[in-house]
């Protein structure tokens, strides 16, 4: 035999379960919910990595600036990299030949004078 009041007794249980499911859904997917918090943490980790990389690059650039301010050898090296020459120097440009093949280094022991 079935109890006719069984449905009436289960109704509050179903309502409570629906409220719990709704609360979980809202906490997961609303603005600044759990899912958004996970995304923000991931973005924060990425940004912290970028900041650290930029700090290292900044430190390297600061060292380079200090070298260029007071180290004549560093100044000359940078000038050479930029294609500048000293007064009195001559520049000789050797064009690259298209038909030239790179030569393999000689094998040891084959360059003996005869």
Q: Is 93 contained in some domain?
A: no
Say what the pLDDT of residue 66 is. Answer: 93
The reply to whether 94 falls in a domain is no
Write phi, then psi, for 100 (nearest 5 degrees). -75, 135
**pTM score, whole prediction:** 0.48
50 within a domain of the structure (yes/no): yes
How many distinct structural domains can be found in the chain? 1
Please give the residue range of the domain that contains residue 34: 9-81
Looking at the domain assignment, is residue 113 inside a domain?
no
- Do the domain assignments include residue 90? no
In a domain, 22, yes or no: yes
pLDDT in tens, the chain (114 residues): 566 677 777 888 888 888 988 888 777 777 777 778 888 999 999 999 999 999 999 999 999 999 999 999 999 998 889 988 888 988 888 888 887 666 666 666 555 554
The answer to whether residue 107 is domain-embedded is: no
Dihedrals phi, psi of 4, to nearest 5 degrees = -70, -20
**Is 98 part of any domain?**
no
Q: What is the DSSP letter of 103?
A: P
């Amino acid at each position: 035999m079935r109890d006719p009041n069984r449905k009436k007794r289960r109704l509050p249980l179903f309502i409570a379960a629906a409220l719990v499911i709704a609360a979980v859904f809202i906490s997961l997917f609303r603005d600044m919910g759990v899912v958004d918090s996970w995304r923000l943490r991931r973005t924060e980790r990425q940004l912290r990595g970028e900041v650290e990389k930029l700090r290292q690059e900044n430190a390297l650039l600061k060292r380079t600036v200090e070298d260029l301010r007071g180290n004549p050898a560093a100044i000359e090296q940078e000038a050479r990299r930029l294609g500048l020459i000293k007064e009195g120097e001559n520049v000789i440009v050797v064009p690259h030949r298209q038909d030239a093949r790179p030569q393999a280094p000689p094998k040891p022991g084959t360059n003996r004078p005869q």
